[in-house]
Chains A and B, each alone.
Chain A
Amino acid sequence: MTTPAGGSSSVRAALAIARRDLLEFVRDRRTLVITLLLPMATYPILALSTALGLRTATHEIDARTAPLPVRIGLSGEDAARLAAILERTVESTPRAERDGWPREVTLGGVEADEAQGMLDRGEIDVWIEARPGLVADLGARGTVELPVRTVTATPSAHFVREQFEAFMRSVARDVTQERVRHADLPATLLEPLRLNFPPSADVAPPNHNVFSTIAGGVLVLLTVLTLTGAFYPAIDAIAGEKERGTIETLLIAPCPIDAIVWGKFLGVLAITLATLVANVVSIAATAAVSLKYLPVGIVASLPEGALVAATLATVVAFTGMAALAAAVCLAVTTASKSGKEAQNTLTPVILLVSAVAGTALLPGMHGGPLLAAVPFAGQIVVARTALGTGSTPPATAGEIIAALALSLASSAVVTWLLLKLTASTLADEDVLFRGQDVAASPLHRPAPQPRPTVFQACVPLVAGFAGLWYAQGLVPSDLCLAIPVQQAVAVLLPLALVLWWQRVDLRGTFAWRRPARGGWTAAVLLGAALLGAGLFLTGAAALLAVRSAGISDEARQLSARLVALIQGRPWWMAWTLVAVVPAVCEELLFRGWVLAGLLGRQRNNRQAVGLAVGMQAAAFALFHLLPERMPQTFVLGLVLGTLVVVTRSLLPAIVCHLAHNSVPLGILWLAGDVPDLAAAVEAGSAGAGARLPGWLVAAAAGAVVSGIAMMTLAVAATRRVASERNSGE
């Protein structure tokens, strides 16, 4: 027996796992089909059908809108004289000025009682009844009504009418010129304005939108296929290993669990990148071939020169997306016990992510620079910006590089978080050694548990967001009713349902206990109140400082409605609605249920605690819907989550939230009855350019610091007492 090898570094272990997995992946027929065959077949089929469809459509339109020969039959006493006027217009109008005219105009006299029959039989296309005195009236100054019938039943009837009308406008122009001449007026009377474009005016080709649509569609397809590239390897990587019973062999390898997850990730990423490259190559090759099938107008509209740089930017942005796709697929499938279970879990996620990617094609999604940071949609936004199809005017190179950098940074951060989640799930003994597919029976009511699982923690959030969305039409405009309805639909009802369904230990889940011992409880609560009030004021100061960025109409309207509520209702009602109800309901949901579920049993793992606090804060911020409110609500969520973790009680978080929401009421009451304040807030004129006074900002900072200090002292004192008691026992 030899001395065992000295162990391997995490990087070496991760690479060894990635290498082993890659070997397995490339021997899997499904991987080869998804990675190589699918892209090779998809784009040629799509391109050929699109190009042929476009060409056929263009030909059809050209054929139908081509100038037609139009035969005009004239009846009545003035038929011959009217025919002479029309004939004169035909002869006097040069071909270049016959815009929209029929290819040929044939004039002929007909009998009034036969004319309709001739129209029906297609012997003439237009019939004009020229009553006696019609031509004389044309020479006068009035408007002459001209009875006209055209063919209606033929396929080209619409175009006959359009082209006849264009011809008659020319006739009317000639008649008008004749009238002007008779009145001894100058001919320029009829041309008060003449447009004068420079000869080199550069106008975007008319078919630009077609290229934009095609490029957008291809980018979404590329996203879906990139995700598909990660699909089977990710399922195979962990869920497949569990099914085959080989995951244990990796978990007893001499390396940290993070190295195993990174090895798995690198293997899946390699296949995903190969899929991406195969797709890009297929797109490029297909585009080169299919250009000749596209109508000339569309080909001329393609951006020249920038295409190579734009393709490069797209590939770089999508490299970030490949990492994201690999991490998402791994994170979602790690809890699964078999390939089938993983497939069932991952499929809806892929559909959801594809829908997110599709939002990048919506109008206006080229706008804010932060859009580049949105996972799966941001990469498409960057690619469209680089291709110049998403924005007007086209973005500069600097803007493209900035968006690309932001997109990559966002992808890296989200990927890292997802891999942490994967490692935490993989290390969870309950997940690793749980029984057969628990997820296979969703209608089976779970047995009572001490606290919700991560999945159960997320259920009321999803139901709450759905509630917010679907209740929009039902929520009354009066905030007195709107606030309770929103809190009931989006917070209390989902929470009550999931509480009934998933029986948990309520006291433990909602941290329903005193935050400290003895007199220190008051110190913790006072500290929490100071912290909440200070946070609101510092947040308001920050918002006023960056207000030049603009505040949306929705935010202004909401602020105005809040001001109207506070000023127009008794203080107790306003305080209950604006501060008490949200503080209690939202704390029960976010810092009670959701945080307890996300934390699980990992209360001693700092990274897991940080991740859980951050995730519930992000959900809390998203719950407030308005982008302007998200930074402040995210920070508030972080602070409230930390309070619950540190004090192990929900009470300080409720008090802190209550104080935070009470400050605006206090300010308005102190300010007294300012007339028309709500209207001024809605108009955006209230407090324009205002800043909080320096002393107030300093007081706010002081409140934050002293609140934290008081709570730290109280918690430390309580722990000291507890440890002394334990050692005494």
Chain B
Amino acid sequence: MPPEPTIEAVGLVKHYHAGDGGVVRAVKGVSFAVNCGEMVGLLGANGAGKTTTLRMLATLLKPTAGTARVAGCDVRHDPVGVRRQLGYVSATTGVPDRLSPREIFTSFGRLHGMPPADLPGRVERLLDLLDLRRCADRPAGRLSSGQRQRVSLGRALVHDPPALVLDEPTNALDVVGARDLLLLLGELRAAGHAILLSTHRLHEIETRCDRFVIIHDGRVVATGTRADLVAEWIPGRDGELEDAFFAAIGGGGPGASS
């Protein structure tokens, strides 16, 4: 029997109430899985339903139908259990400006109920892992964008969750910051974390993710490794992930006419 995936979405549906009295069907039945020690990229255009899907996984939104499980905990029936097993970072996630990285990690460790005796050691390890030791006691408001994003990731990692969900984590970062963050995520994958991340910047993750899930208009339109996607959507051509992506969402793009 194959091991249960660490992150699993099963027919997730989300409807919003629109301002004009109608209903917006943002996600229309999304299913995928992320296994332990695997990094999966969730790809899609703006408005495809990526953020809504990730927010449902993080229990910030309640699914209209379907469900999702994180390390065996169901988002509908055991949201608190899901939050214990999950680290979540989004592009819009900020850090408290008046607290230092050390204080932020410590306070979230307490919030996750970590034993007081273990907490200082865990915080020190995180500061080393994220290369934040030099600015460990500086208010987060005075840190660079890259440092702040690493603090955000550290906050999500403080309770050492088996699953990590990241919504466009490299958006606010320059090339160097983005590369450092992705290298770090690679290390976490090697350590056994299941990582699901969404991004627009396909070239950044093309070679770093094990598999990809492409969603379009609230539905999964393609899934597989880079090679699988290229073979399925642009057969017979040696294209890139971006070409396969555009072919999958039917939106044209660089490789569509060639």
Interface residues on A, range: 35 or more
Q: Is the CB of A27 within 8 A of B98?
A: yes
- Tell me if A175 counts as interface (CB < 8 A to partner B): no
- In this complex, how many residues of chain B approach chain A with their Cβ under 8 Å: the count is 45
Q: Is the CB of A430 within 8 A of B95?
A: no
- Tell me if A256 counts as interface (CB < 8 A to partner B): yes
- Tell me if B255 counts as interface (CB < 8 A to partner A): no
Interface 0/1 of A1-18, CB less than 8 Å to B = 111111111001100110
Q: Is the CB of B112 within 8 A of A248?
A: no
Q: Is the CB of A20 within 8 A of B107?
A: yes
Report the Cα distance A4→B109, complex, angstroms: 11
* A246 to chain B: closest residue by CB: B94
- Tell me if A548 counts as interface (CB < 8 A to partner B): no
- Tell me if A178 counts as interface (CB < 8 A to partner B): no
B61, B112, B193: the one within 8 Å of A429 (CB): B61
B19, B95, B162: the one within 8 Å of A246 (CB): B95
Q: Could you tell me the distance in whole angstroms from the C-beta of B103 to the nearest C-beta in chain A?
A: 7
- Tell me if A253 counts as interface (CB < 8 A to partner B): yes
**Contacts A12-B113, A249-B108: A28 and B80 contacting too (C-beta < 8 A)?**
no
A5 contact set on B, CB distance < 8 A: 84, 112-115, 159
Q: Apart from A252-B86, A449-B19, A450-B17, what 4 extra A-B contacts exist at CB < 8 Å?
A: A5-B115, A246-B94, A248-B93, A447-B20
Q: Is the CB of B62 within 8 A of A429?
A: yes
25 contacts between A and B (CB under 8 A): A1-B160, A2-B160, A4-B160, A7-B81, A7-B112, A16-B110, A20-B96, A20-B103, A20-B107, A20-B110, A23-B107, A24-B96, A244-B96, A245-B92, A245-B94, A246-B94, A246-B95, A251-B60, A252-B58, A253-B83, A253-B111, A447-B21, A448-B20, A450-B17, A505-B21
Report the Cα distance A16→B58, complex, angstroms: 21
B95 contact set on A, CB distance < 8 A: 244, 246
Report the Cα distance A447→B80, complex, angstroms: 36
- A contact patch SS: loop
Report the Cα distance A16→B158, complex, angstroms: 15
Report the Cα distance A118→B106, complex, angstroms: 92
Report the Cα distance A448→B94, complex, angstroms: 34
Q: Could you tell me the distance in whole angstroms from the C-beta of A503 to the nearest C-beta in chain B?
A: 8
* A260 to chain B: closest residue by CB: B111
Report the Cα distance A2→B160, complex, angstroms: 6
B17 contact set on A, CB distance < 8 A: 430, 450
A28 contact set on B, CB distance < 8 A: 98
Question: In A245-270, which residues have CB < 8 Å from any B CB?
Answer: 245-246, 248-256
Q: Is the CB of A447 within 8 A of B19?
A: yes
Report the Cα distance A250→B60, complex, angstroms: 10
A7 contact set on B, CB distance < 8 A: 80-81, 84, 112-113
**Contacts A5-B159, A254-B112, A448-B20: A19 and B107 contacting too (C-beta < 8 A)?**
yes
Question: In A597-626, which residues have CB < 8 Å from any B CB?
Answer: none
- Tell me if B155 counts as interface (CB < 8 A to partner A): yes
A9, A251, A433: the one within 8 Å of B113 (CB): A9
Q: Is the CB of B162 within 8 A of A16?
A: no
Report the Cα distance A291→B115, complex, angstroms: 54
**Contacts A7-B80, A447-B21: A24 and B113 contacting too (C-beta < 8 A)?**
no
B60 contact set on A, CB distance < 8 A: 248, 251-252, 432
Q: Could you tell me the distance in whole angstroms from the C-beta of B186 to the nearest C-beta in chain A?
A: 15
B159 contact set on A, CB distance < 8 A: 4-5
Q: Is the CB of B191 within 8 A of A8?
A: no
A12 contact set on B, CB distance < 8 A: 110, 113
User: Which A residues lie at the B interface, using CB under 8 A?
Assistant: 1-9, 12-13, 16-17, 19-20, 23-24, 27-28, 244-246, 248-256, 429-430, 432-433, 446-450, 505
- Tell me if B90 counts as interface (CB < 8 A to partner A): yes
B62, B88, B97, B162: the one within 8 Å of A248 (CB): B88
Q: Is the CB of B112 within 8 A of A249?
A: no
Q: Could you tell me the distance in whole angstroms from the C-beta of A243 to the nearest C-beta in chain B?
A: 8
Report the Cα distance A23→B97, complex, angstroms: 11
Report the Cα distance A249→B88, complex, angstroms: 8
* A248 to chain B: closest residue by CB: B93
**Contacts A248-B93, A249-B93, A254-B84: A13 and B113 contacting too (C-beta < 8 A)?**
yes
Q: Is the CB of B161 within 8 A of A4?
A: yes
- In this complex, which of A6, A23, A254, A255 has the most chain B Cβ atoms within 10 angstroms of its Cβ? A254
Task: List the 3 shortest-distance A-B pairs measured between CB atoms, nearest first.
Answer: A8-B113, A245-B94, A16-B110
- Tell me if B85 counts as interface (CB < 8 A to partner A): yes
B162 contact set on A, CB distance < 8 A: 1, 4
Q: Is the CB of B99 within 8 A of A23?
A: yes
B139 contact set on A, CB distance < 8 A: 27
Report the Cα distance A251→B108, complex, angstroms: 12
Report the Cα distance A13→B159, complex, angstroms: 14
- Tell me if B170 counts as interface (CB < 8 A to partner A): no
B223 contact set on A, CB distance < 8 A: none
A2 contact set on B, CB distance < 8 A: 160
Q: Could you tell me the distance in whole angstroms from the C-beta of A82 to the nearest C-beta in chain B?
A: 88
A1, A13, A252, A505: the one within 8 Å of B191 (CB): A1
A249 contact set on B, CB distance < 8 A: 93, 108, 155
Report the Cα distance A448→B16, complex, angstroms: 15
- Tell me if B192 counts as interface (CB < 8 A to partner A): yes
Q: Could you tell me the distance in whole angstroms from the C-beta of B24 to the nearest C-beta in chain A?
A: 11
A448 contact set on B, CB distance < 8 A: 20-21
Report the Cα distance A249→B155, complex, angstroms: 8
Q: Could you tell me the distance in whole angstroms from the C-beta of A316 to the nearest C-beta in chain B?
A: 31
Report the Cα distance A449→B115, complex, angstroms: 48
- In this complex, which of A2, A3, A4, A23 has the most chain B Cβ atoms within 10 angstroms of its Cβ? A4
